[in-house]
Structure 1
Amino acid sequence: MNSLVRRVTAACLLGAAVAACGGHGTTAPAQRPERRATAAGPAPSLAPGPTGLAPVFAHGPRREKAVALTFDADMTAGQGARAAAGERFDNPRLVATLRRLKVASTVFMTGRWAEEYPEQARAIGRDPLFEVANHSYSHYAFTADCHGLPTVPGRRMRSEVERAFAAFRAAGVEHAMPYFRFPGGCYDRRALRRLGTAGVTAVQWDVVSGDAFAKDADAVAQQVLDGVRPGSVVVMHCTRSAAPATERAVRTVVPELRERGYRFVKVSELIGAADRDRRDRRGRHTAS
């Protein structure tokens, strides 16, 4: 599958923008990730492959009309000056709309975003409507040639994940999920191997919203509506300056998909369903 590297147009646009935002910053010492769990017990996850690679999840079972809207809260380690100058990498209106519409969602947050907006990170993390997952600390790429993003050295890949979880804890996010989204959507076997001991499931998507830098909310909404299937994972963004049309698109997407019979779920529900299906298949195979 093209050396396992995943690229999408929306991620390309967003990645090219953040790549121009400054230097690599510093790396904090790696911290051992704690066992993250929901109130009901351990978070659903997929088992690593037989070669120790981190598992990859792109969509849930196709049997039920459930869809996961996911929002990348992107901010790189080098964008502090732009934030200090007034650029907004958050999107409170989008979060308020998701709450008003009661849309369960998963927010893939960079550690740097959590440091810049700790009150918002904490509020999202404590709201049962949402779950927070890991989008790396710096939003630098885990492969070479990933939309112009700076590249994380192999030796720092796991610490990028651990440092982000540490930033979430510092902001007051108590139960971040053990899910990781690669910056730019780019990964290969080396990256999966490096994260194989980090205890995370790599979460991709099967529907690209095209919201990065888009100004036409109707076009974004139509792209989502055209792509959604049962079990879909939709990638969108929670960054006001880089995805200004997302909130308006959501106001169109949500009622339309509900009219079609879909319900909105967190990524954890789809992963749980996929894991149950896998165990059921294994049980039937063993029984036969």
Structure 2
Amino acid sequence: MYFIRFVLLAVLIVLNLSSTLFAGSAAPLIFEHGPRDGSKIALTFDACPTSRSDEYDEKVINVLLAEKVPATLFMSGRWVEKNPEKTKFLASQPQFEIAAHSYYHPHMVEKDNERVLRELKRTQALIKRVTGQTPHFFRPPFGEVDDRVAKLAAETGLVTVQYDLASGDADPNLSPQRIERGVLRDARGGSIIVFHMNRNGMHKAEVLPVIISGLRKKGFTLVTVGELLKKK
């Protein structure tokens, strides 16, 4: 009996020590999806800097406008810098939510704290200056993030948002049918789906109406990330 009491006491001490060590040090949240028990899905579009930083797939935006689809647009600073008027126009559309996608699109996990903060703050400041809006969300380039980067983002007021479903729209080797099937098959309540609004994809504008229609027929409601996560 004494031995059992001793073991229980030791366990309690360890648990108490663990709670003390980790109190207040929880990893910053990195959202890959929203609530799974609902019918909301967020369509997101990245504007990455390219060899031609002025690249812009207007047909994609026209589809979203025509279909009245809310969407979150993750913009890199370089893209905004090259497209200030387009950025202003997009920000003026009530259905769109403007978010940050770093400035130069580096591998953030490989950069030191100073560089990460510079990327984030410079992008925030530029978007604010061009649109008058302060972004609330940040998507790391290449889908690469760790707790350190997410914590630095949180320090600048940004919530880190990944995705749980990649559309594959930037892969010229994927057929429209394969993109459509993949998205409609794998979409779930709470999904955050990533597309691109650059011209580096081959079938975006072609498949988007089919995907939008298919998701709605399945009973999903399309919303912004802010609405999905209720973080605005």
Q: Please tell me the TM-score bracket, short chain as reference.
A: 0.7 to 0.9
Structure 1: which 5+ residue stretches go unaligned?
1-48, 145-151, 276-288
* Structure with bigger gyration radius: 2
In structure 2, what is the Cα distance between the partners aligned to 1:64 and 1:52? 26
- Quick one: distance in 2 between partners of 1:138 and 1:190? 19
Q: Which residue of 2 is the match for residue 30 of structure 1?
A: none
- Higher helix fraction: Structure 1 or Structure 2? 2
For 1:1-288, what aligned pairs fall within 5 Å after superposition?
Answer: 50-51=24-25, 53-75=27-49, 79=51, 82-83=52-53, 89-144=55-110, 152-171=111-130, 173-214=131-172, 216-240=175-199, 242-272=200-230
Shift of 1:122: 0.6
Q: Distance in 1 between matches of 2:98 and 2:73?
A: 5
**Residue identity in the other structure for 1:115:** E
Distance in 2, matches of 1:199 and 1:64, equals 27
Moved over 4 A (4+): none
Q: Deviation of residue 52 (structure 1)?
A: 6.9
Q: TM-score, normalised by structure 1?
A: 0.68
- Aligned partner letter, 1:123: F
Q: Is the 8 A contact 1:56 1:201 kept in 2?
A: yes
* Equivalent pair of 2:99/2:136 in contact (CA under 8 Å): yes
Q: Normalising by structure 2, what TM-score?
A: 0.84
Q: Distance in 2 between matches of 1:249 and 1:176?
A: 31
Shift in Å, 1:53: 4.8
Q: Deviations over 1:75-134 (max 9, x none)?
A: 15xx4xx45xxxx52111110110001110000000110111111111111110100000
Q: 1:186 to 1:251 in 2, by over 3 A?
A: same
Structure 1 residue matching 2:108: 3-state secondary structure: coil
Q: Is the 2:28–2:147 contact (alpha carbons within 8 Å) kept by the matching residues of 1?
A: no
Q: CA RMSD in A?
A: 1.8
| Unmatched 5+ stretches in structure 2 | 1-22
Q: Helix, strand or coil: the match of 1:70?
A: strand
Which residue does the alignment assign to 2:13?
Answer: none
The answer as to whether partners of 2:108 and 2:145 remain within 8 angstroms in 1 is yes
Q: Aligned in 2, Cα 1:50/1:199: closer, same or farther, shift over 3 Å? A: farther
Q: Relative to structure 1, is the Cα distance of residues 244 and 179 closer, same or farther in structure 2, using a 3 angstrom cutoff?
A: same
How far 1:141 sits from its partner (Å)? 1.1
